[in-house]
Every structure is written in C-alpha cells, then in structure tokens.
C-alpha cells in the first residue's frame, strides 16, 4: 500500500498545482472553455502525459489527448475534464485526469503485466459548459456526436461565438468531425472509465472510500427570459407595473416548490441576469437558466413541461412576454454492465464493501456512452460538497481509488476486453 500511497501523493500534489491555474486572480479556481488557463493546464498535464510515455496532442475542440503507440491492441480510455465551474473545487475533473495519468505511468512501468489493451488518457476541454451554456463540448466531439451549426453560433457573455472561441484556441470548427474517435484507427475501443469525486453524501454516509456508478441522471438545461417594462421605481404605481424580476422570482419559487414535491427530481435556477440593473428602475427584463434532472427520463420530461407551463402562466397573468429555449437535453445513461462488474470486482479485491450508486451529476461519460462502453468509479468527498472551493477528498481515498484502478487494469491483462 505504501507504493500506491506515494502515487496518490503525486496525484494530490498535481491537483494542487492545477488548482492554481485560473482565469481569475481572486485565488479561486475558474477555468472555462478556450481560456488561456485551459491552454496552460493542457501544457502542464500534457507534460505529465508525455513522461508517462503517451503520444500527446490537443484536438480541434481543445481536448488534451494522450495514447500509447498503436500496436494492434484496442484502446482503453481513462480520464475526465480539465475545465471547471466558477470558483470551483480542485478535484472535480482533475482527480479523474490525474489518476488516469498515474495509471498510464504504471502501465508504462509494466505494473499491469501484458495488458490486452493500450491505455489512453483524455482531459476534456468543456464538461461543465460554463462559458457557452452547453456541457460536453469536448466529449461530444471525441465521441463523434452531432455537433450542429446552431451550437457553433452560441455566444458567451462577451458576445464571442463558440466558433470564434474554437479558432482562437487553435482549432477549426469545420473539421471537428475528424477529431472523433475512430475504432478502426485505434484497433478497437474497449471503453471509457472515469474516476470522479462523488459530489454527494452517499459514500461518506456509508463509511466507504469508493463506489461504482450504476447510472448517470438525465439532465435538461433551458434558458428563459421574462420581458416586461422598465420604469421609474418611485412614480410607477404597483398595479401598473410589468416587473420582469418579480415574475422571475415567482417562477424560481415555483421551480423549487415543484421539485420539492416530485421525489427524485432536482431543479435549479443557477443564473439570473436583470436589466437594466439599477436600484431605482423597475426591471424590464430578467433572463435565467434552468437545470432539471432525474434518474427517470419520463419524470424529467413531465417536469420540464410543467415548469414551462408555469412560466407561461406567470408571464400571461402579469402581462409580460416569455422567451423559453431548450439548451440541451441528455437522457439518463447506464454504465456498461461488463465494465461495471470488472470495477466492482476490483473494488472487492481491495477489501472494501462494493456499493453501486447513481450519479446525480452529469459527466463526460454521458457523451461517450453513445459510442463505447463507459464506467465510473466514485471517490468519497467531505460533506458531499462540490462545485465549491472547499470540495475535498483524502489522500487515503485517492490511494484506494488507485488501488482499484490497478486491480481493474490487471484484470484486463488477464481477460480479453471484448468480454466487457
Ligand atoms: O453539472 C454537472 O452535473 C456536472 O458537474 N457538469
Ligand atoms: Mn465533473
Ligand atoms: Mn462539475
């Protein structure tokens, strides 16, 4: 265990190093798609990948990709994302990328014996979708999922389009299709396995360091905008107002009330932009985001329809206009039974009780699942906290996660990946 503890210390030290790479100077970690911080982090992690014997490149959407030289064996992809939310924790994403690099280093050192597959590592460029609102930009391209022109014309808060951001980062929107994984060019694809902090309380509540993900919840993202009438806060009688922020506030409360009454569903308004945004002006417009999730797709779709109807009713009653747009929707994703079983066996070999649990958070595995078998290993996090600077996992639990991944990869050396 001492050796794996030493490797876990390297993972933790590297996570600390990446946490300091931010597009902000407030001492917190914010790394959004196409930023210079992402370019810097690709350079740092790319160097670690090269030291692990991987051939490294950055693809057209900014994914950092490393693979062992092709030799006829199929590819097993490990990794996670390198972008973050605003004022992020240090583990969401980098924990998966850096444990993957640790596995690639071990594979290069012959730790796993004659592996029946090659090991690749990916650091995705945009899982969170903070800058353009749509998540999985990087993993959608790697998976070869549809990437329509409408997405390329999305603009960020500064009016920069996704197409322009791709070009500025060194990519080419028109050739993203060429960046998709090609099974033939890889002599087959075994699957994608991601290590990620749980971002929830279940493992901690069960006293377990790791758990195997059974499925990833479905997720719908919308943007809405209530349009009313700006006016003088001092002279406009309450009965004559078309206050867009008051309408949005009523809607946000309706979202919370609905989700609280619909077991298993979660719904969040995370962003709200009020115009013109002066204290003595009645808000003329209030635009926001809506994130709705459930492990059951029918429940999520029904809830989305009800919430849209609630927004329309509020707008009608108040004499406002409502704009409503679905930004993206991903159905619930099952992890591959064969890979899940192999991960569970690998957990069992460490002496830990095996717990399989669903993920309420979205992950790049959702996008990749359209093209290859996926599996995820969760690592306990303190208080279930994530998307917060105080997000944390322990050195011991990272060591156990590495131990699980070692067992998993050794099992691949013993049985053909096709059995997965
Ligand atoms: O929002 C999520 O679930 C993930 O962190 N992108
Ligand atoms: Mn994540
Ligand atoms: Mn996240």
Q: How far apart are CA 411 and CA 341, in angstroms?
A: 11
Length of the chain: 420
Residue 411 Cβ contacting ligand 1 at under 6 Å:
no
3-state secondary structure of 361: coil
Nearest CA to ligand 1 atom 4: 362
Residue 267 Cβ contacting ligand 1 at under 6 Å:
no
Rounded to the nearest angstrom, the distance between the alpha carbon of 174 and the centre of ligand 2 is 27
Rounded to the nearest angstrom, the distance between the alpha carbon of 419 and the centre of ligand 1 is 31
Locate the ligand 1 atom nearest the alpha carbon of residue 293 and give its number: 3
Please give the pLDDT value at position 417. Answer: 52
Phi, psi of 360 (to 5 degrees): -80, -25
Rounded to the nearest angstrom, the distance between the alpha carbon of 213 and the centre of ligand 2 is 14
Residue 116 Cβ contacting ligand 1 at under 6 Å:
no
Residue 128 Cβ contacting ligand 1 at under 6 Å:
yes
Locate the ligand 1 atom nearest the alpha carbon of residue 386 and give its number: 5
Locate the ligand 1 atom nearest the alpha carbon of residue 291 and give its number: 1
Across the chain, which has 420 residues, the per-10-residue mean pLDDT values are 91 98 96 98 98 98 97 96 98 98 96 93 97 95 91 95 97 94 94 98 98 97 97 98 98 98 96 98 98 97 98 98 96 96 97 96 97 97 97 98 97 65
Please give the pLDDT value at position 123. Answer: 98
Q: How far apart are CA 362 and CA 151, in angstroms?
A: 19
Q: Give the dihedral sign, CA 380/381/383/385.
A: negative
CA angle (129, 135, 136) in 5-degree steps: 125
Rounded to the nearest angstrom, the distance between the alpha carbon of 81 and the centre of ligand 2 is 7
Residue 362 Cβ contacting ligand 1 at under 6 Å:
yes
Could you say which ligand is closest to the alpha carbon of residue 362? 1
Do the Cβ atoms of 31 and 124 come closer than 8 Å?
no
3-state secondary structure of 124: strand
Q: Which long-range contacts (CB under 8 A, 24 or more apart) does 144-148 make?
A: 144/177, 144/180, 144/181, 144/371, 145/367, 145/370, 145/371, 147/176, 147/177
Locate the ligand 1 atom nearest the alpha carbon of residue 135 and give its number: 6
Please give the pLDDT value at position 419. Answer: 43
Which residue in 383, 385, 384, 387 sits closest to 88, CA to CA? Answer: 387
Q: Return the HEC string of 3-38.
A: HHHHHHHHHHHHHHHHHCCCCCCCCCECCCCCCHHH
Residue 83 Cβ contacting ligand 1 at under 6 Å:
no
Helix orientation angle between 244-260 and 297-318, rounded to the nearest 10 degrees: 150
Could you say which ligand is closest to the alpha carbon of residue 359? 1
pTM of the model: 0.92
Residue 127 Cβ contacting ligand 1 at under 6 Å:
yes
Number of C-beta neighbours around residue 22 at 10 A: 21
Locate the ligand 1 atom nearest the alpha carbon of residue 362 and give its number: 3
Locate the ligand 1 atom nearest the alpha carbon of residue 129 and give its number: 6
Helix (H) or strand (E) holding 377: strand 374-379
Q: Give the dihedral sign, CA 71/75/76/77.
A: positive
Helix orientation angle between 94-108 and 2-19, rounded to the nearest 10 degrees: 140
Please give the pLDDT value at position 102. Answer: 98
Rounded to the nearest angstrom, the distance between the alpha carbon of 130 and the centre of ligand 1 is 10
Number of C-beta neighbours around residue 111 at 10 A: 16
Ordered structural domains, the chain, with CATH = 2-217+332-419 (3.40.630.10), 218-330 (3.30.70.360)
Phi, psi of 124 (to 5 degrees): -70, 150
């Amino acid at each position: 265990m001492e050796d794996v503890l030493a490797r876990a210390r390297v993972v933790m030290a590297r996570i600390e190093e990446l946490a300091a790479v931010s597009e902000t100077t407030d001492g917190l970690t914010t790394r959004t798609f196409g930023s210079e911080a992402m370019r810097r982090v690709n350079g740092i992690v790319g160097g670690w990948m090269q030291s692990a014997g991987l051939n490294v490149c950055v693809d057209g959407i900014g994914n950092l990709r490393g693979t062992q030289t092709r030799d006829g064996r199929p590819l097993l992809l490990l990794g996670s994302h390198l972008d973050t939310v605003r004022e992020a924790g240090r583990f969401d994403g980098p924990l998966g990328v850096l444990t993957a690099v640790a596995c690639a280093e071990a594979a290069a050192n012959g730790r796993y014996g004659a592996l029946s597959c090659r090991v690749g590592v990916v650091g995705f460029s945009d899982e969170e979708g903070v800058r353009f609102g749509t998540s999985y930009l990087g993993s959608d391209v790697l998976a070869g999922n549809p990437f329509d022109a409408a997405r390329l014309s999305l603009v960020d808060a500064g009016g920069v389009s996704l197409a322009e951001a791709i070009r500025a980062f060194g990519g080419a929107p028109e050739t993203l299709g060429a960046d998709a994984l090609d099974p033939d060019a890889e002599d087959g694809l075994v699957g994608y396995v991601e290590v990620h902090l749980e971002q929830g309380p279940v493992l901690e509540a069960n006293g377990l360091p790791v758990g195997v993900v059974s499925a990833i919840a479905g997720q719908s993202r919308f943007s809405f905008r209530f349009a009313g009438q700006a006016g003088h806060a001092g002279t406009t009688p309450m009965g004559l107002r078309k206050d867009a922020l008051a309408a949005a506030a009523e809607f946000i409360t309706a979202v919370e009330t609905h989700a609280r009454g619909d077991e298993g569903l979660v719904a969040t308004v995370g962003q709200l932009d009020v115009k013109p945004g002066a204290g003595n002006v009645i808000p003329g417009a209030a635009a926001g985001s809506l994130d709705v999730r459930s492990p059951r797709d029918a429940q999520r779709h029904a809830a989305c329809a009800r919430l849209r109807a609630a927004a329309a009713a509020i707008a009608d009653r108040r004499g406002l206009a409502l704009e409503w747009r679905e930004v993206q929707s991903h159905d619930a994703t099952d992890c591959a039974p064969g890979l899940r079983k192999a991960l569970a066996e690998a957990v069992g070999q460490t002496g830990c009780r095996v717990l399989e649990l669903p993920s309420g958070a979205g992950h790049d595995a959702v996008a990749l699942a359209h093209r290859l078998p996926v599996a995820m290993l969760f690592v306990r996090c303190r208080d279930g906290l994530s998307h917060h600077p105080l997000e944390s996992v322990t050195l011991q639990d990272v060591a156990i996660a590495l131990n699980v991944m070692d067992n998993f990869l050794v099992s691949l050396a013993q049985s053909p990946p096709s059995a997965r």
